[in-house]
Amino acid sequence: MFGLSSDCIVHVPEKYYTLSDYEGNVPRWCPSCGDHAVLTAAQKVCRDKQLPPEKTVFTSGIGCSSRFPHYMGSYGFHGLHGRAFPIACGIKFRRPDLHVFVATGDGDCCSIGTAHWIHAIRYNIDMTVMLLDNEIYGLTKCQTSPTSQKGTHSNTHPRGSILPPINPISTSLGVANVSFVAQTVDWNPAHLYSTLLAAHEHPGFAFVRILQRCPHFSADVFEAAAADADQLLLMTHENGLQLEKHVARMYKNTIEHDPLDMHEARALAGTEERIPIGIFYQNKENERYDEFGMHNLGFTPEQKEAALNAELDRYAV
Amino acid sequence: MLDSHMESFNDSIEKTEKQVFSIEEHIVEIVSDSGEGAQKCGQSFGSISAKMNNGVWTVEIIPAEIQPPARSRAGASGNRIRIGSHTITNMGDEADLVVAFNEQVLYSRIDQKAFKKGTIILLENKWIESNIPEIRQQYSETLEELRANGYDVYEIPMEKECLKLSENPHQGKNMWVLGMLCFIYSRDLEKADAQVLQTFYKKSQKIIDSNLGLMHAGYSWAKKYLGFQFHVPPRQETEPMVVMNGNQALGMGTIAAGIEVCSMYPITPATSVSHYLAETFESAGGVVHQAEDEIAAIAFAIGASYAGKTALTVTSGPGVALKTECIALAVMAEIPLVILDVQRGGPSTGLPTKVEQGDLLATIFGQPGDAPKIVMAASTIEECFHFVVLARKLAETFTMPVFVLSDANLATGVQPFPRPNFSPDWLSPPVDQSPWKKGVRPYEWDEETGISQRPIPGQEDGMFVLTGLAHDEESHVAYESSINQRASNRRSRKLAAFHQTLNPPVINGQAEGDLLIVGWGSTRGSIEEAVKRVQKAGGKVSSLHLRFLSPLEPNLKEIFKKFKKVMTVEINYGDEPHDPLITSDTRRYSQLAWYLRAHTLTEVDYFSNVHGRPINPGSIENRIRKELDL
């Protein structure tokens, strides 16, 4: 942004957006909720990419994490439970100038909104998706989520949940036309930031699952992983996340994984012994439905009138 | 009327002396087994007649199943075409002439009282030569029965004649019949040729030529062997006309409104709106989005509209049910949205292809909490076009969802109407991207009208977070009771403000009398024809037809007071007063009647049913006569 360009002219932007330009209301999440870290990382991505707040729309469904747009200084759409994806797709469909983000939770995305999630992956409309996955329903007070581990004690399953969880990464990787799938954690701000930045820069539907701690209802779920970096598996590659050395050094378990390798991506997604973080899969060549949506923008009134009259001619008596 | 020697097919006995009748109007039906092309034949005949400047109304005759067994009694598939020397507004009563591809399909039409004594039946006669004895027997028995019941039956060698030109008479028999009808009704062969070309424009030249040949053969055969012909003089009016069905009109209205996004999920009988748009919309600057489900379809439209591109969704009853939550979101967040509801029979999956006006109360009241919105109903195919244009404007002016109700009767009915004259103000304005006035709140409700301006993403300094939660003028989530009361009040006030702009409904007939019929939607043509008949017979009956159902048009209570009795005519369920267990306590009224009673505190009765068919003028006339002791 700052500095000398090759023609030695200093570009001073008309307006430089600071972090405070992306701040909205004071967050009302619980102290030590993982959502705070995600909010900060998203605001930093906006600042570092200098996204004009008026050209940026944060969309969400319903749930704790779906309060996200209220805490941003951009435009926001806090919609309906499970429906963030179709709303976000509609926003972007004919507005190439807008930067669209979706904040969604595990209930919102992987339960009530599952059909929309699957199809949004397939539409591959350009947007950044943050699945804040705490493996529990928080806002409605501790019900089992589709990503809750089997045996989770909750208000709907006081004797332990019955079914194994959905794996959001495996599920996403199984959808036709999937173009970007990554995983990160709320307790490593640098990795979180790098992942969201890569997702934002991806031309298409970028899906990021963020393991997010709920201090109130699922505090124990990621406790061990947050305390012990060895429980994580860092995916690295020249086409993957470019982490600073001191961040990468934290993880002794690493694997060289090419994000174009879908076969290995699916194998890694199913790994149970360690939690892989980084980019599982990225393909910039996939069909983008927003390109179809935007192929005929900007008709003038005269063009529209001519089109209507041509139609009326076809049906003329 | 038919040459008595025709069965010998002797070319030498060509009939030159025809009985030619000049008639004001006729009702024609073409019925066949499903898949034999009777609908295409009927639609083509309707279009040709419209192009000859006749008044036209067509109705599809649809079997209950997609592919009922051949020659089944309930399997009639086809078309009814009513043509006349004046504007035709409805399907009419009994048919004057019927073409049937087999005798069995006639039974369901007879059950529905579609024919009268003297109705001319032109019947495919190949069945008498069938190698299945039962079929030969059925054919002879039915023939005898039809004649005994006073129908004027002619046996026509349709297949035999087609076989002279085509190896497969199942493809093209409908065009042969079209040719026959074109002769019978003195249609212009050049217009008929043009229609066949239009119908098959996607097909190969071979198929086009074959169909043209069959059509001409049908015409020549009828000219040679039929002893009668009808002239239906054209309408007097000569203004430019267009002819289409209601769903095409809704689609064309979408283009005329400058709408850019049609977001839909397939549902009968609404889908053909999107079929039409899928063909044409992109060349008019729009795109059809086929969503993954009904909910996504409306949510996508809401997203597009929020981003400044006024969008539209098209659906039918079950889809309206699924969209309920999103409709309420559009009300709560004050997002403009046009919803086209082509109604079908309900509840549940109901009668997908049949006519019902069952969504009235669901669209007005169907959301939890108070969800004020505009609901309007088209009563003609012309209104299907213009109401989309109007709905888009109202949705943007009052920042709320606007329903346009149509139904299966309008959806597939074909009617000519004056060619719309485009006006630039039909189009939605370009997306406003000028900086937002600092200090103006996103829901700064005007005290008098309840209307607020809305910032659109891209507008500098307009950033706000839209929410479906209760919110204040800043769009901040607010649970304080006074704020919710105030916000609800302002959303409701918008409807009252819109109501100020409406005129009282026009009364068809005297402003006072013994009986006032109130209708809405596609029943208008039948109601007005029935009322006219009874008025001619001296009955003091008038009618009015509501276009706006929410808010209701002004002065209804005052208008109702001038009549001894008020009765709705509508196609949805209401208890009959003399049914078992039905008392004034238990009687559940048909929908408009229920609504008008509550609205006007007037005694309102109803004539309604859910037979899945349009209501014909004759049955309304009978009911009016009964009410008036005529």
How many angstroms separate the CA atoms of B156 and B173, rounded? Answer: 12
3-state helix, strand, coil in chain B (%, to 5): 40, 20, 40
CB contacts < 8 A, A to B, total 190
Report residue B35's pLDDT band, with 50, 70 and 90 as the boundaries. confident
Looking at residue B166, its pLDDT comes to 86
Looking at residue B5, its pLDDT comes to 39
Quote the number of domains for chain B: 3
* Whether B247 and B377 share a structural domain: yes
Per residue in B165-224, pLDDT (tens digit) is: 988 877 789 999 999 999 999 999 999 999 999 889 889 999 999 999 999 999 999 999
How many angstroms separate the CA atoms of A250 and B520, rounded? Answer: 72
Looking at residue B69, its pLDDT comes to 86
Residue of chain A nearest B255, judged by CA positions: A308
Residue of chain A nearest B422, judged by CA positions: A305
Mean pLDDT of chain A: 95
Q: Determine the distance in angstroms separating the CA of A77 from the nearest CA of chain B, rounded to an integer.
A: 5
* Percent of chain B whose predicted confidence (pLDDT) is above 90: 90
Peptide bond into A96 cis (omega under 30): no
How much is the average pLDDT of B106-134?
Answer: 95
Decide which of B375, B392, B426 is a domain's last residue. Answer: B426
Q: Do B289 and A73 lie within an 8 Å CB cutoff?
A: no
Q: Show residues of chain A in contact with B381, CB under 8 Å.
A: none
Mutation choice for A interface testing from B52, B332, B463 by most A CBs within 10 A: B463
Q: Do A317 and B295 lie within an 8 Å CB cutoff?
A: no
Q: Show residues of chain B in contact with A303, CB under 8 Å.
A: 284-285
Considering only the beta carbons, identify the residue of B292, B311, B466 that sits closest to A77. B466
Q: Do A90 and B299 lie within an 8 Å CB cutoff?
A: yes
Which of these, B385, B316, B388, B328, lies nearest to B357 by C-alpha position? B316
Q: Is the pLDDT of residue B1 over 70?
A: no
Q: Determine the distance in angstroms separating the CA of A178 from the nearest CA of chain B, rounded to an integer.
A: 16
* Whether B58 and B152 share a structural domain: yes
For residue B584, is it within any domain?
yes
Looking at residue B479, its pLDDT comes to 79
Q: How many CB atoms lie within 10 A of CB B419?
A: 17
Q: Residue B579: exposed, middle, or buried by beta-carbon count in 10 A (0-12, 13-18, 19+)? A: exposed
Listed in sequence order, the residues at least 6 apart from A253 whose beta carbon sits closer than 8 Å to its beta carbon are A230, A232, A233, A234, A274
Q: Determine the distance in angstroms separating the CA of A302 from the nearest CA of chain B, rounded to an integer.
A: 9
How many angstroms separate the CA atoms of B257 and B390, rounded? Answer: 8
Looking at residue B481, its pLDDT comes to 82
Kindly report the CATH number assigned to the domain that includes residue B161. 3.40.920.10
* Whether B330 and B402 share a structural domain: yes
**A102 and chain B: CB distance < 8 Å anywhere?**
no
Q: Do A87 and B287 lie within an 8 Å CB cutoff?
A: no
For residue B487, is it within any domain?
no
Q: How many CA atoms lie within 13 A of A70 on its CB side?
A: 25
Considering only the beta carbons, identify the residue of B243, B295, B458 that sits closest to A98. B458
Residue of chain B nearest A77, judged by CA positions: B466
Tokens of A89: 């797709």
Q: Is the pLDDT of residue B6 over 70?
A: no
Looking at residue A10, its pLDDT comes to 58
Pairing mode, if any, of strands B513-520 and B563-570? parallel
Q: Is the pLDDT of residue A64 over 60?
A: yes
Considering only the beta carbons, identify the residue of A72, A76, A79 that sits closest to B329. A79
* Whether B289 and B341 share a structural domain: yes
Give the H or E element holding residue B172: none
The answer to whether B378 and B387 have CB atoms below 8 angstroms apart is yes
The DSSP-derived string for B505-533 is PPEES-SSEEEEEEEEGGGHHHHHHHHHH
Mean pLDDT of chain B: 94
Q: Show residues of chain B in contact with A175, CB under 8 Å.
A: none
Q: Is the pLDDT of residue A4 over 60?
A: no
Looking at residue B68, its pLDDT comes to 80
* Whether B227 and B268 share a structural domain: no
CA angle (B494 as vertex; B489, B497 as ends), nearest 5: 120
The DSSP-derived string for B488-499 is HHHHHHHHHHHH
**A121 and chain B: CB distance < 8 Å anywhere?**
no
Decide which of B208, B231, B254 is a domain's last residue. Answer: B231
Report residue A5's pLDDT band, with 50, 70 and 90 as the boundaries. low
Where in chain A are the domains?
19-288
Looking at residue A150, its pLDDT comes to 97
Question: Following CA atoms A254, A259, A265, A269 in sequence, which dihedral angle do they give, to the nearest 10 degrees?
Answer: 60
Q: Is the pLDDT of residue B104 over 50?
A: yes
* Whether B161 and B21 share a structural domain: yes
For residue B458, is it within any domain?
no
Per residue in A94-126, pLDDT (tens digit) is: 999 999 999 999 999 999 999 999 999 999 999
* Whether B263 and B162 share a structural domain: no
Q: Do A54 and B458 lie within an 8 Å CB cutoff?
A: yes
Looking at residue B4, its pLDDT comes to 42
Report residue B67's pLDDT band, with 50, 70 and 90 as the boundaries. confident
Q: Is the pLDDT of residue A20 over 70?
A: yes
Q: Show residues of chain B in contact with A109, CB under 8 Å.
A: none
Per residue in A190-237, pLDDT (tens digit) is: 999 999 999 999 999 999 999 999 999 999 999 999 999 999 999 999
Considering only the beta carbons, identify the residue of A25, A54, A80 that sits closest to B457. A54
Residue B285 Rama label (left phi>0; alpha psi -120 to 50; beta): left
Report residue B14's pLDDT band, with 50, 70 and 90 as the boundaries. very low
Per residue in B276-297, pLDDT (tens digit) is: 999 999 999 999 999 999 999 9
**A115 and chain B: CB distance < 8 Å anywhere?**
yes
Residue of chain B nearest A120, judged by CA positions: B292
**Interface ipTM:** 0.96
Which of these, B611, B575, B526, lies nearest to B112 by C-alpha position? B611
For residue B441, is it within any domain?
no
Looking at residue B7, its pLDDT comes to 43
Per residue in B323-366, pLDDT (tens digit) is: 999 999 999 999 999 999 999 999 999 999 999 999 999 999 99
Q: SS3 for B294-344, per residue? A: HHHHHHHHHHHHHCCCCEEEEECHHHHHHHHHHHHHHHHHCCCEEEEEEEC
| Helices A114-123/A84-93 angle, 10° precision | 30
**A27 and chain B: CB distance < 8 Å anywhere?**
no
The answer to whether A42 and A99 have CB atoms below 8 angstroms apart is no
Q: Determine the distance in angstroms separating the CA of A134 from the nearest CA of chain B, rounded to an integer.
A: 23
Looking at residue B3, its pLDDT comes to 44
> B416: domain range?
242-426
Q: Is the pLDDT of residue A285 over 90?
A: yes
Q: Do B307 and A57 lie within an 8 Å CB cutoff?
A: yes
Question: Following CA atoms B470, B473, B474, B477 in sequence, which dihedral angle do they give, to the nearest 10 degrees?
Answer: -10
Kindly report the CATH number assigned to the domain that includes residue B542. 3.40.50.920
Lowest mean pLDDT among A70-84, A288-302, B13-27, B307-321: B13-27
Per residue in B393-422, pLDDT (tens digit) is: 999 999 999 999 999 999 999 999 999 999
CATH of domain A19-288: 3.40.50.970
How much is the average pLDDT of B447-468?
Answer: 97
* Whether B96 and B23 share a structural domain: yes
Q: Show residues of chain B in contact with A299, CB under 8 Å.
A: 284-285
* Whether B225 and B249 share a structural domain: no
For residue B220, is it within any domain?
yes
Lowest mean pLDDT among A189-203, A271-285, B9-23, B361-375: B9-23
* Whether B225 and B316 share a structural domain: no
Per residue in B537-568, pLDDT (tens digit) is: 999 999 999 999 999 999 999 999 999 999 99
How many angstroms separate the CA atoms of B190 and B196, rounded? Answer: 10
Q: Is the pLDDT of residue B16 over 60?
A: no
Looking at residue A8, its pLDDT comes to 59
Listed in sequence order, the residues at least 6 apart from B402 whose beta carbon sits closer than 8 Å to its beta carbon are B336, B337, B338, B339, B373, B374, B375, B376, B391, B392, B394, B395
Q: Do B299 and A83 lie within an 8 Å CB cutoff?
A: yes
Whose structure tokens read 């706006």?
A: B548
Q: Please tell me what DSSP assigns to residue B27.
A: E
Q: Please tell me what DSSP assigns to residue B235.
A: P
Q: Where are the alpha helices (DSSP H) in B185-293?
A: 189-199, 205-225, 246-256, 271-280
* Percent of chain B whose predicted confidence (pLDDT) is above 70: 97
Q: Is the pLDDT of residue B58 over 70?
A: yes
Q: Show residues of chain A in contact with B289, CB under 8 Å.
A: 90, 93, 293
Listed in sequence order, the residues at least 6 apart from B145 whose beta carbon sits closer than 8 Å to its beta carbon are none
For residue B1, is it within any domain?
no
For residue B432, is it within any domain?
no
* Whether B289 and B146 share a structural domain: no
Q: Show residues of chain B in contact with A73, CB under 8 Å.
A: 463
* Whether B259 and B171 share a structural domain: no
Decide which of B204, B231, B258 is a domain's last residue. Answer: B231
Per residue in B382-391, pLDDT (tens digit) is: 999 999 999 9
Report residue B74's pLDDT band, with 50, 70 and 90 as the boundaries. confident
Q: Do A91 and B465 lie within an 8 Å CB cutoff?
A: no
* A residues 41-60 closer than 8 Å to B (CB): 52-55, 57-59
